[in-house]
Amino acid sequence: MGRELQKKKRRSNRQPVKQSNKTKKILNPRGNNIIAKNWYRLSPPPQIHGPSLQSLQLKLLTRTIRDKKETLAQNYRRLGLVARLKAPTGGVEKKLGATTTGISKNDPFAITSVGKAIVSEAKVERDADGKIIRVLGTTRPNPLNDPLNNLDSDSEEDGAGEEWGGIAEREAEEEDTTDVVRSLIEESHNPAPKAARYQSEREREWLEKLVEKHGDDYGAMARDAKLNPMQQTARDIGRRIKKMRGE
């Protein structure tokens, strides 16, 4: 039965059903103008000699190609971004050109070994017998390199610290921040102006009919089942009429 059904499908003119992969493509790098400009790299023009050299070089400069040797996450990492906000579930992808693996020096979660302790000078306060009471001008002991250690201040002796400007400001001050991230932070500080809502001619005709029949009684306009089939509220109708009158 199944074989005969397949033969019938081949003889018919019905097109096979194809599932689209658009639902799987969650990321949209072209959604932002700054990311779209830096998502593709310019292809360098070859060395060509001849009368049409300038025109050919101009075409090659305007043509952009994607770095197909890198994955989606690597392309985002090249811009200083991440491909997904969630934590990695199956390990971290290795970076291209990375020869050594391990914990970096600037890793805030790295545990410092006792043998590599750094000897430094500090001011201390002693009592009458010469015993050290406290150490002045130093931070709290942090053997596990907890990044929140300095923020946790329970003593009254701690002075007013610097105001934290948020994650975006902290990332902008880092040396590894790319130009794309700086441009995105600057764009976030300058949001686009709010565009005024446009009223169409049909909407104005509908409002004029309501005003002609009910005057300024917005409650009667909202209860009118014939002229208000979409059941707009009295407050919404009043706001639309004020906008039409330019108030």
pLDDT, tens only, 183-199: 888 888 887 788 888 89
Residue 186, both tokens: 């600057």
Give the DSSP H/E element, type plus range, for residue 243: helix 234-245
Can you give the pLDDT at residue 161?
Answer: 46
Alpha helices in the chain (DSSP H): 2-11, 33-39, 53-62, 72-78, 167-173, 179-189, 201-214, 218-223, 234-245
**Rounded distance, CA 151 to CA 139, Å?**
11
How many Å apart are CA 225 and CA 210, to the nearest integer? Answer: 11
**E runs forming strands in the chain:** 41-42, 64-65, 123-126, 132-136
Whether 64 contacts 43, CB under 8 Å? yes
d(CA 39, CA 180): 10
Contact 18, 44 (CB under 8 A): no
Question: Is the alpha carbon torsion for 219, 221, 222, 226 positive or negative?
Answer: positive
Q: In the prediction, which pLDDT does 175 show? A: 55
**pLDDT at residue 160, rounded to an integer:** 45
Give mean pLDDT, residues 129-149: 75
- What pLDDT does 243 receive? 92
- Which pLDDT score, from 0 to 100, does residue 157 have? 47
Task: Report the percent of the chain where pLDDT is more than 90.
Answer: 19
Coil vs helix vs strand at 81: coil
* Reported confidence tier of residue 216, pLDDT bands at 50, 70, 90: very high
Beta bridge partners of 123: 136
Of the pLDDT bands very low, low, confident and very high (cuts 50, 70, 90), residue 236 is very high
* Per-range mean pLDDT, top range of 49-53, 72-76, 170-174, 180-184: 180-184
**Exposure pattern of 181-210 as b/e (b: 16+ CB <10 Å)?**
bebbeeeeeeeeeeeeeeeeeeeeebbeeb
Cβ-Cβ contacts under 8 Å for 74 (sequence gap 6 or more): 93, 95, 96
What average pLDDT does the chain have? 73
Nearest CA to 185 out of 49, 32, 30 is that of 32
State the pLDDT at residue 203.
Answer: 95
Higher confidence at residue 232 or residue 93? 232
pLDDT tens digit sequence for 104-128: 555 566 666 655 556 677 788 888 8
Q: What 3-state DSSP class applies to 58?
A: helix
Is 74 exposed, middle or buried, given 0-12, 13-18 or 19+ CB atoms closer than 10 A? middle
Please tell me the least confidently modeled range out of 40-44, 69-73, 99-103, 217-221: 99-103
Find the length of the chain. 247
Residue 238 pLDDT > 90: yes
Question: What is the pTM (predicted TM-score) of this model?
Answer: 0.39
Q: b/e map of 14-40 (b: 16 or more CB within 10 Å)?
A: eeeeeeeeeeeeeeebeeeebbeebbe
Give the tens place of pLDDT for each residue, 3-25. Answer: 888 888 788 877 777 777 666 65
